[in-house]
């Protein structure tokens, strides 16, 4: 007996995966393909493998290569298929006829499309209806860091895979195994508590996607054999009962004074214990020294800045004294903040777990990973968006957000897979839904089932919290966490200043205001008659909403008038004294918009009147929806008020972006030293800053000034001076492990020498890569540089026998990192994110090529504001500091363990290495020879004016 799929009709043309399906089927088809990047005659697929599963366990397979003359080394490593093999393969037409004959009688196919060629595959198979198994993996298991073939295989098997390559047959098996897992685990009550909810809403979606997975689940044994029992619990739409909720935490003990002190001797013994009992952990003198400084700072309530070279082992160097401090002092609390999400995850899931497993003396320390609220779904907002009329891709979009809410400890709404966006966000509705359900605003502590509130409550009861710099900067503004933590450890501290700047920025997006206004207008029209208080004011409120829309449009017109040719979406500086805003016109426009928002908020004040709503017997959901919109408008009113005052502040830079229909304005503090001094040094007991790169010219003065540690004449600080300490621990790796080279043919990277520089880099790269046999990371200062080089020599680089990996805007970098590590001969071309925070140990990386000195872009609004704010000498000192730190970060990518060796090649003749110095301390050109400091600015601007 076949599977009968539920019959629903989609109301609009959508992807075939969302169409309804009414056939009865017996056989289920699976297809896997490999495809190249460059198309040949409009096609990219060069290998196909297919299988048909029959009820009762029968299986037949089909495999074939397809003629494809553009094979590259990367494709060869990915598939095990060579150019010679595809040259002898049959044509696409011949393979298509064979595949269609093989699939005859299967009304749709399930495919694992790793290349975005599903349309081509549909044409090849002659079947327009399909289910993308990769999309399903991202839908049901959103928490995976990566959804590459390698990552999916490791997730299913629980083992590490050495290679990223899959033969067509292996890829087909992976596709079938994923289908087995999704239908037999993700949708099964025994494995997934909320599976009855998934099945109910997938059936209600009326899509091939939903019906196919439910059908496979219900007849799991017919297709996959024994191992999973069909779910017996009734499907349900009551999703709220599967949510966690805020629990009242036990009262924490108060910290005692005086505090117990960490013993350096005992701390060293702990590291020796780790070395003795944990395979792979090595006792390092530098790590113990580092930990001792951290322990002293915690003991003495000091502010410690400690630079520790690569290989010191900073993470365990500060975690172990932190854990020991908390063990000795019940009631004390510590926050550790980092810049990258990957390090936060590593700290929480790996390093802390390692300490607790190896040293079972910290069982009572409560530890929580706290992300920013924008990472979580507000389930109250999600509930308000649900309507029984939702179907098709709209309902699946809503369901995806619900899955993320269920899995909030692993997944986050801010990280959406590429396939999810490809299918769900074709019309932009999914993107709007993500913004609408974000807990970033309008998710108060009263939302006791919202993930953000659950995690916040747990953080409030924790001893140790792992978070990010942005969250740390605003911690004391949180109504539940403010004042709870007195000790901060700030890792990756070279990124702390921009995080603080962004945290204290005032930002407004016209899209948010308009969406709230439109939502209120919609709910206003849906209110029943018989409410004289609201009906009387309805006309006035409608007029107020229209006035608000007009104020938004007028503000956009004002921004457009500054420069009608300004690139849409680009960041531009907004000067309050621009001629367009004569006579304080910018503040007046902001004030007008602020007044329009407040007028609407006042007009809807009756929404909060309990008596009115109870008497009218109004729908509570309608009221909650309106209240959320009003809360957003109230937040916007407060932000606009702050922007109105900030635009004339000397320490503020205001920027704007114009889009097709909307605009964005943000006011950022330029210097954040005073903010850090007030918010952290004036309130916290102990602060530890650490990173591999903090010093400039072997000194901490620049970092000290940036973070507000310079002496201050204020009375309150003079009365209670802080103990500021500075320490450096050099890398334990040998200083001669890396050689820094500036080839004789290198050209200056100045902007006015751009053509010569591009020619020189284009000429040098292929030979450098060939001579090193791949194993190269090429760092660019901008996407524009990278694209120009690819335009020149992209074909030549792909023709080399080394897989070429290229960072592209919007694509996940974790996948590139995994592939680069796995394929030792590969070459990776990257921009900003690859200058720091990535580890490529071993012989997968033996050459780093820095194409241009990474001077900060002078047309960046912050740079422009600093130039006006700081004396010239201070500005250029900061300019060089930023350059030096990023340069050291880039150089630091090469040597990541004791056995690493290699070379750094700088293709910018302005760089002057000191060959006797360790590679972690480079020498940059400070100023063109023979020029005074006053001439230096233009020379440095020219170097990066094109970015």
Dihedral of alpha carbons 296, 301, 307, 310, sign: positive
pLDDT at 561: 87
Q: What HEC string does 37-96 produce?
A: EEEECCEEEEEEEEEEECCCCCEEEEEEECCCCCCCHHHHHHHCCCHHHHHCCCCHHHHH
pLDDT reported for residue 295:
97
Q: CA torsion sign, 676 to 681 to 686 to 691?
A: positive
Residues 3, 25: contact at Cβ < 8 Å? yes
Q: Cβ of 316: how many Cβ atoms within 10 Å? A: 21
Instruction: Report whether 464 contacts 348 (CB < 8 A).
Output: no
Contact assessment for residue 23 and residue 101, using Cβ atoms and an 8 Å cutoff: no
591's tokens: 């004030």
Is 377 in a helix, a strand, or coil? strand
Contact 792, 760 (CB under 8 A): no
pLDDT, residue 899, reads: 87
Residue ranges of the chain with per-residue pLDDT less than 70: 1-14, 22-23, 227-230, 249-253, 255-257, 527-539, 582-584, 612-618, 712-721, 914-947
Tokens of 714: 């204020």
pLDDT at 356: 92
Nearest to 907 by CA among 743, 788, 797, 758: 743
Decide if 766 contacts 796 (C-beta within 8 A). Answer: yes
Q: In what order do the strands lie in the sheet with 506-509?
A: 506-509, 663-669, 652-658, 572-573
Burial 740-757 (b: 16+ CB within 10 A, else e): bbbeeebbbbbbebbeeb
DSSP state of 132: E
Mean pLDDT over each residue of the chain, to the nearest integer? 87
Q: Which of 317, 323, 306, 210 is nearest to 271 (CA)?
A: 317
Give the pairing type, strands 902-906 and 847-850: parallel
Q: Are 624 and 384 in contact (CB under 8 A)?
A: yes
- pLDDT value for 802: 95
C-alpha angle 796/798/800, rounded to 5°?
75
What is the maximal distance between C-alpha atoms in the chain?
88
Kind of pairing between the strands at 43-53 and 28-40: antiparallel
Task: Give 253's DSSP letter.
Answer: P
pLDDT digits (tens, 9 = 90+) for 562-587: 887 778 888 888 887 777 776 667 88
CA atoms of 411 and 868, how far apart (whole Å): 43
Could you give phi then psi for residue 888, rounded to 5 degrees?
A: -65, -35
Instruction: Give the SS3 label for residue 406.
Output: helix
Q: Looking at residue 210, what is its pLDDT?
A: 93
DSSP assigned state of 112: E
pLDDT at residue 352, as a whole number: 94
Cβ(277)–Cβ(660) under 8 Å? no
* Spatial CA neighbour of 555 closest among 669, 643, 652, 432: 643
Domains of the chain plus CATH, in order, are: 3-242 (3.30.420.10), 264-366+672-729 (no CATH), 372-447 (no CATH), 507-669 (no CATH), 738-944 (3.40.50.300)
Q: What is the pLDDT of residue 524?
A: 79
What whole-number distance in Å separates Cα of residue 776 and Cα of residue 800?
A: 13
Which positions ≥6 away from 696 have C-beta within 8 Å?
A: 702, 703, 880, 881, 884, 885
- Are the C-beta atoms of residues 531 and 607 closer than 8 Å to each other? no
Specify whether the CB–CB gap between 619 and 535 falls below 8 A: no
Q: How far apart are CA 319 and CA 124, in angstroms?
A: 55
User: How far apart are alpha carbons 910 and 574 in whole angstroms?
Assistant: 33
């Amino acid at each position: 007996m076949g599977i009968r799929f539920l019959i629903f009709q989609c109301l609009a043309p959508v992807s075939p995966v969302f169409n309804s399906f009414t056939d009865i089927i017996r056989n289920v088809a699976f297809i896997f393909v490999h495809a190249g990047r460059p198309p040949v005659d409009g096609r990219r697929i060069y290998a196909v493998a297919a299988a048909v599963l029959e009820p009762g366990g029968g299986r037949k397979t089909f495999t074939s290569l397809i003629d494809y003359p553009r094979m590259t080394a990367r494709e060869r490593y990915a598939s095990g298929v060579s150019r010679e093999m595809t040259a002898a393969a049959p044509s696409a037409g011949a393979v298509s006829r064979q595949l269609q004959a093989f699939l005859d009688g299967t009304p749709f196919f399930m495919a694992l499309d790793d290349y975005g060629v599903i349309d081509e595959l549909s044409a090849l198979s002659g079947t327009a209806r399909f289910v993308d198994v990769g999309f399903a993996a991202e839908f049901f298991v959103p928490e995976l860091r990566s959804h590459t073939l390698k990552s999916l295989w490791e997730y299913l098997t629980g083992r590490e895979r050495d290679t990223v390559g899959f033969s067509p047959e292996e890829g087909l098996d992976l596709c079938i195994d994923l289908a087995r897992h999704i239908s037999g685990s993700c949708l099964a009550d025994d494995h997934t508590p909320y599976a009855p909810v998934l099945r109910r809403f997938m059936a209600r979606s009326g899509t091939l996607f939903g019906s196919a997975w439910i059908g496979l689940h219900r007849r799991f044994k017919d297709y996959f054999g024994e191992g999973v029992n069909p779910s017996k619990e009734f499907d349900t739409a009551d999703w709220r009962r599967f949510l966690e909720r805020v629990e009242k935490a036990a009262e924490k003990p108060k910290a005692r004074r005086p505090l117990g002190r960490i013993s350096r001797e005992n701390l060293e013994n702990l590291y020796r214990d780790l070395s003795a009992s944990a395979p792979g952990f090595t006792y390092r003198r530098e790590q113990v020294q580092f930990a001792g400084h951290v322990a002293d700072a915690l003991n003495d309530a000091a502010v410690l800045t400690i630079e520790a070279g690569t290989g010191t082992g900073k993470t365990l160097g500060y975690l172990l004294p932190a854990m020991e401090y908390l063990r000795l002092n019940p009631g004390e609390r510590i926050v550790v903040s980092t810049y990258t999400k990957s390090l936060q995850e590593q700290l929480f899931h790996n390093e802390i777990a390692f300490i607790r497993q190896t040293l079972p003396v910290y069982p009572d320390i409560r530890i929580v990973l706290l992300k920013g609220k924008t990472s979580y779904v507000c389930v109250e907002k999600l509930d308000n968006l649900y309507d029984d009329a939702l179907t098709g891709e709209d309902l699946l979009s809503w369901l995806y957000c619900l899955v993320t809410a269920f899995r909030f400890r692993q997944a986050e709404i801010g990280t959406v897979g590429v396939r999810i966006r490809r299918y769900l966000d074709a019309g932009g509705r999914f993107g709007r839904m993500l913004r609408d359900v974000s807990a970033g605003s309008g998710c108060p502590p009263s939302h006791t089932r919202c993930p953000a509130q659950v995690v916040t409550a747990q953080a409030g009861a924790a001893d140790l919290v792992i978070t990010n710099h942005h969250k740390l900067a605003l911690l004391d503004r949180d109504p539940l966490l403010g004042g709870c933590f007195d000790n901060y450890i700030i890792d990756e501290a070279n990124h702390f200043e921009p995080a603080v700047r962004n945290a204290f920025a005032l930002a407004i997006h016209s899209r948010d205001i308009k969406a709230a206004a439109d939502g209120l207008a919609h709910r206003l029209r849906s209110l029943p008659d018989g409410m004289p208080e609201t009906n009387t004011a309805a006309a006035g409120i409608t007029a107020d909403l229209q006035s608000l829309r007009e104020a938004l449009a007028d503000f956009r017109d004002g921004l457009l008038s500054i420069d009608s040719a300004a690139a849409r979406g680009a960041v531009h500086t907004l000067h309050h004294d621009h001629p367009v805003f004569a006579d304080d016109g910018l503040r007046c426009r902001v004030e007008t918009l602020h007044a329009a928002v407040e007028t609407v908020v006042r007009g809807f004040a009756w929404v909060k009147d309990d008596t009115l709503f109870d008497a009218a017997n109004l729908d509570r959901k309608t009221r909650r929806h309106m209240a959320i919109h009003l809360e957003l408008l109230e937040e916007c009113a407060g932000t606009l008020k702050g922007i109105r005052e900030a635009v004339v502040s000397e320490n503020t830079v205001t920027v704007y972006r114009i889009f097709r229909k909307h605009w964005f304005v943000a006011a950022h503090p330029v210097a954040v030293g005073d903010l850090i001094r007030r918010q952290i040094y004036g309130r916290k007991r102990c602060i530890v800053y650490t990173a591999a790169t903090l010093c400039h010219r072997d000194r901490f003065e620049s970092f000290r000034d940036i973070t507000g540690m310079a002496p201050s004449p204020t009375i309150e600080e003079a009365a209670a001076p802080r103990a500021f300490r500075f320490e450096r621990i050099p890398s334990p790796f040998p200083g001669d492990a890396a050689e820094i080279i500036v080839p004789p043919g290198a050209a200056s990277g100045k902007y006015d020498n751009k053509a010569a520089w591009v020619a020189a880099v284009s000429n040098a790269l292929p030979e450098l890569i060939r001579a090193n046999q791949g194993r190269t990371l090429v760092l660019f200062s901008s996407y524009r540089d990278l694209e120009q080089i690819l335009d020149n020599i992209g074909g030549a680089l792909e023709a080399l026998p080394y897989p070429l990996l290229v960072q592209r805007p919007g694509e996940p970098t974790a996948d590139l990192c995994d592939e680069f590590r796995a394929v030792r001969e590969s070459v990776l071309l990257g921009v900003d994110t690859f200058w720091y925070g990535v580890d490529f140990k071993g012989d997968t990386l033996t050459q780093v090529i820095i194409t241009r000195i990474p001077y900060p872009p002078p047309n960046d609004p912050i740079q422009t504001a600093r130039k006006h704010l700081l004396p010239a000498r201070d500005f250029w000192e900061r300019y060089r500091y930023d350059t030096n730190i990023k340069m050291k970060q880039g150089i630091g990518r090469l040597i990541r363990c004791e056995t690493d060796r290699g070379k750094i090649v700088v293709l910018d003749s302005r760089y002057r290495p000191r060959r006797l110095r360790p590679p972690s301390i480079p020498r940059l050109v400070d100023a063109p020879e023979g020029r005074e400091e006053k001439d230096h600015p233009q020379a440095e601007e020219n170097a990066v004016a094109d970015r």
